Amino acid sequence: MTKAFNTEDLIAAAKSIIKDEKCPNCKDLACPGWETMPSSFNQDQLNLIGTLKSENEESWNEYHPKNTQIWSADAPIAPNFHPYNKCDVYQCQNCTQMYLRYTEYGGYYVDQRIRLVTPELIDGAINA
Ligand SMILES: [Zn+2]
């Protein structure tokens, strides 16, 4: 059973990240916003540590109080909103860097997406 993370859990875990820019696994994933999983990224180095999925999982509302959009590098990481409410939380074994991942299901494609967890961007706003 994967541990369910709420906003406070995510913030607490993110505060334990040790930044190591020399991690050979993570150096190819420099983008702090969402991106399609790069084929060069070694997913074997990622440990599943929790999930943000909740009873809220079906909501498609996004949270952008400062006119960001889903791909913005400075968009809030708001666990109660799409797509964070569909994410699992992963951590690099090598350097402790944390990532969120979810799968986007389009009409004719499946897109694995990944975003670096930036602690300052985590926002516990309520999806009412
Ligand atoms: Zn790493």
The reported pLDDT for the residue numbered 4 is: 95
Q: Does residue 8 have a pLDDT over 90? A: yes
Q: Does residue 122 have a pLDDT over 90? A: yes
pLDDT in tens, 25-80: 888 786 789 999 998 899 999 999 999 998 888 899 999 999 999 999 999 999 99
Q: How remote is the CA of residue 64 from the centroid of ligand 1, in Å?
A: 28
Q: How remote is the CA of residue 33 from the centroid of ligand 1, in Å?
A: 17
Q: How remote is the CA of residue 91 from the centroid of ligand 1, in Å?
A: 8
pLDDT in tens, 90-106: 999 999 999 999 999 98
Q: How remote is the CA of residue 8 from the centroid of ligand 1, in Å?
A: 23
The reported pLDDT for the residue numbered 117 is: 95
Distance CA 69, CA 74 (A): 9
The strand pairing partners of 101, in sequence order, are: 88, 114
CA distances from 97 to 10, 38, 89 (A): 13, 16, 11
Q: How remote is the CA of residue 95 from the centroid of ligand 1, in Å?
A: 4
Distance CA 72, CA 91 (A): 22
The reported pLDDT for the residue numbered 91 is: 94
